[in-house]
Amino acid sequence: MTDVYGTLLFTPEQYRQYRQKFCSGIERYGGDTQHIVPTRPGDRHYEDVLQLRNAIQKDRVRVEMLQTAIYETLSQTLAAQGIVLHNPSETAITGADIFKTGSTARGTNAPYDYDFDFTIRLDAADLDKAPTILAQLKEVFGGEERDAGSSMAGERISQLRLRRASVSGHQEQCDVDVTIMPKSELLRYGSHDAAAERLAWIRDHVSQDAYEQTVANILLTKRILKEHEVYLMWRDSHPDRIGGIGGIGVENWILANGGSMLEAFRTFYEASHDHEGRRVPFAQFRKIYKIIDPGENFAENGIHNDYFGTILTEAGYEKMQTVIAAYLQKHTSTA
C-alpha cells in the first residue's frame, strides 16, 4: 500500500497484520475473528479485574436509569423548540436523532463515575436553534460549564460540557456533554462506533464473560494510567498534561491486545526495549508500535488516530515505560 506519491506505507504482510489487529470484529472491514487473551485466576491482575466486574454489574442499572433520564430531557428540550425526533419505522428521513456516545454508552466508564456523552443530529433547517437548545439544557441541568462554546468544522458543530449536572428524579450528579451537529456530519464511521462494535462482537460471538473481562481490563488500565497521570491526551488548551493516549486510545490498545491489560503491557515493554533490556528512543518506538483507530476522529477532520505514533508525547512515553516496567516486575515477582 502506498500514498498518492508512491511512498510505501505498508507491505502486504503488514496490511494483513494491521487489518486483523485493529479491524477484527467490524463488519464493514470483513468482521475477522477477534483474538481473546483470557484473564485467569493466578494472573497478577485477576483480583482487580474481578472486583471491577462486580462493581460494573452493580452499577449497570443506575447508569441505564440516568442515561434514560438525560435522553428524555434532551428530547423534551428539542420538542420545546418544535423539533421532532426521527422515527426509524417511517420512510421520512427528516427529524432529529439523539445518539448515546462516549465511554458510558460503551460500558467502559469507571463504576460510579457518571459521565454521559450525547450527540444530537439536526436537519439543516433546525441548525440555527442549536444555541437556544444548549442554553436551555444548561438551565435544566445546572452544574458548571467547562470548555464553554467549543465548536468544530466551521461552527457547524457546537458543544455543551457540564460538570456536576443535576438529572431530574435522581440524586447523583453527573458530567454531561452534549454535541449538536448537522446530520451530514455523522454519516461517517467514528471512533466510538468502531470501539462499540468490537466490544459487541466479543459479547455476541465469544461470550458475556469475555466481554466483561475485556471491559474490566480496559477500566483497570485507565485507572493505573490515571493514578500515574499519564492518561489524558496533551492538548494546546492543557499544556500541563504529560500526554497519554486518552480513553478511546486505551480501549483500542486493549482491544488490539486480546482484551488483556497484561498482554498490552507486555507488547509495549517489548517494543520499548531492545534485546539487551535498554530503552529504545521514542522516535524508534513510535515507528514500530502501532495502535491505529479503525474509526474516524471527527474533532480532527476525520483522521484515524495512531495513538502511539502521533498522540503519545515523549514525556508520556517515558512515564509509561516506568509505570509498565514496574507493574510487570511486580507481576513476575508475585507469579
Last-in-domain residue among 152, 186, 220: 186
Would 3 be classed as within a structural domain? no
In a shared domain, residues 247 and 315: yes
Residue 334, C-beta contacts closer than 8 angstroms, at least 6 positions apart: 44
What does the pLDDT look like over 108-138, one tens digit per residue? Answer: 988 988 899 999 999 989 999 999 999 999 9
Give the separation between CA 75 and CA 95, rounded to whole angstroms: 11
Would 256 be classed as within a structural domain? yes
Closest-CA residue to 261 (of 192, 324, 311): 324
Q: For strand 173-182 and strand 115-122, is the pairing parallel, antiparallel, or unpaired?
A: parallel
In a shared domain, residues 97 and 139: yes
Give the separation between CA 218 and CA 223, rounded to whole angstroms: 9
In a shared domain, residues 284 and 312: yes
Could you say which residues of the chain have pLDDT below 50?
A: 149-154, 186, 333-335
Give the separation between CA 123 and CA 253, rounded to whole angstroms: 36
pTM here? 0.85
Can you give the CATH number for the domain in which 75 is found?
A: 3.30.460.10
Q: In the chain, how many domains are there? A: 2
Check if the beta carbon of residue 269 is closer than 8 Å to that of residue 325: yes
Would 131 be classed as within a structural domain? yes
How much is the pLDDT for 240?
Answer: 74
Would 46 be classed as within a structural domain? no
In a shared domain, residues 203 and 321: yes
Residues forming beta bridges with residue 2, ordered by sequence position: 8
Would 27 be classed as within a structural domain? yes
Domain that holds residue 66: 51-186
In a shared domain, residues 171 and 235: no
- Torsion from C-alpha of 269, 303, 35, 2, nearest 10 degrees: -90
24-51: b (≥16 Cβ within 10 Å) or e: bbbeebeeeebebbebeeebbbeebbee
In a shared domain, residues 205 and 329: yes
How much is the pLDDT for 144?
Answer: 92
Last-in-domain residue among 186, 206, 221: 186
Would 89 be classed as within a structural domain? yes
In a shared domain, residues 176 and 203: no
In a shared domain, residues 195 and 330: yes
Check if the beta carbon of residue 305 is closer than 8 Å to that of residue 311: yes
In a shared domain, residues 24 and 69: no
Would 171 be classed as within a structural domain? yes
Give the separation between CA 70 and CA 135, rounded to whole angstroms: 15
In a shared domain, residues 182 and 196: no
Give the separation between CA 214 and CA 251, rounded to whole angstroms: 9
How much is the pLDDT for 148?
Answer: 52
How much is the pLDDT for 139?
Answer: 95
In a shared domain, residues 130 and 245: no
Bin 44: left if φ > 0, else alpha if -120 < ψ < 50, else beta: alpha
Last-in-domain residue among 166, 186, 206: 186
